[in-house]
Structure 1
Amino acid sequence: MVGDFDATTLDPNQAYVSMILPSPISETSKVGFQIGVPKPLPRPPIHPNIQYGSTSPVPPKYFITPRPTDTITYNFAPTRSPLDPNSMLLYPPPDISVDQGARTPYHICVNMNCFTPSSHITTIRKSSSEGEFVGDFEIGPSNARISNTVCLRGHECSINEVLSSSSRLFHSNWTWKTVDEHDAPVTLYWDDNNGGSAITCFRSKDRTLANLLAKFTPRNQMRKHGRPIQYPKLEVTPDGHDCFEDILFSALIIERMRTDPPGKS
């Protein structure tokens, strides 16, 4: 029936002739294009096998994100919107574009588990609160009946399966290791050996500058008049961009556990 026509079902790969509808032919549909005119083709997605280093064949229409030539510093800043509480954005410097290898912003929000209010779920999406779902993780008190979990690339597991830690006097380190049936495994080595509150990420246990992937630095200055606001930042090397989302997830989880250990919630 004409009254049941849904413009969102148009196939962008086919040509359409103008359709006779009760409304004028120039009326724009709710999805933003004229009836009878196909939507522009969207930019092809990034295939996960490319992003995470697999040698598997990749369909030719997938878009390969260029690798930056220099380290990029991303800032975590609150969204400051009453319609989007308990959330922040991770964004690159304004003078570095996606074509230069920068990642698009990531929207990060925290909500409580409705069944277990003492447990909190952090959800990461691309660009905005309505953007593409990247993953989430949930961390609660140690006496909760539900386990701490992480979901990334469509695979959910216990955080203990992918993140291990060890501590010595004034020194802690963490190992993040994911195994996926479709992608190459990702292993990251984090530590706080540089002192202060920053943590550093390497590609191997040999913690040299050549193996450096990223560094997370939390805010360490109080706000004062005349002083620019300091935001937590994530510095990612060119090599680190190959496993950007693993770096982001592991940094968020480690910082959550460092500042508010589950056993003390």
Structure 2
Amino acid sequence: MEIIVLPDADAVAATAADIIEARVRRGPAVLGLATGSTPLGTYAELIRRHRERGLSFAQAQAFTLDEYLGLPAEHPESYRSVIRREFTDNVDFAEGAVHSIDGQAEDPEAEAERYDASIAAAGGIDVQILGIGTDGHIGFNEPMSSLASRTRIKTLTEQTRKDNARFFPSPDDVPHHVLTQGLGTIREARHILLIGLGAAKAEAIAAAVEGPLAALCPASALQLHPHTTVLVDTDAASRLEHTEYYQYTHSQKPSWQAY
């Protein structure tokens, strides 16, 4: 893992956008896109660079991370709708290049298998963006998820439903079940960007980065990944014990070494 502690959310968004832009400008790229509030700054920065710098996604594909089970695709809080509203409809992805899990599939298990196969058929994810839940979940892989899991159905914890209730008219409207890429699926991405913002995420970041590898903190599975970049603001880094080391290694990063 490379842990980068930055002053604030704007600096995190700019650094994440730097990494994604570098990959997109190298040629056709496959991006893994997370929803939720954490990556919104990154998406806003990428949209700005598209409009002001000519950053093009015309040769890119994208796969969303998860979806509520049973929520209509056109629902404003379906992740299919959210990712298009917050990011992909504001840049120049080609028609059909943004792929989402079908939360209304008649056979969700078959849909999960189809989705993993479609990622593989696209050549795999080049850069996967991830947020982290207050309990350490990534995607909708809740605590005690298998570290080798594939895309599948999961039941949300009450904490996750509570965290997501702000996006719905009432907490009762938050679905109980989802389809999510599994931890094994996520770890097949060539480069993972884990973003943590704010003091509420500090304990989860510390457990993921410096804690033991354990299903209790699903994000700790990224310790097994050969190329994970963890981007955190100072508040999210407040529970880390080795911040000085992370800051030192980042300041001494060779100019020729990419993220």
Give me the TM-score of the superposition, normalised by structure 1: 0.24
By relative contact order (CA 8 Å, sep 6+), the higher-ranking structure is 2
**Larger radius of gyration, structure 1 or 2?**
1
Is the strand fraction higher in 1 or 2? 1
Give me the TM-score of the superposition, normalised by structure 2: 0.25
Is the helix fraction higher in 1 or 2? 2
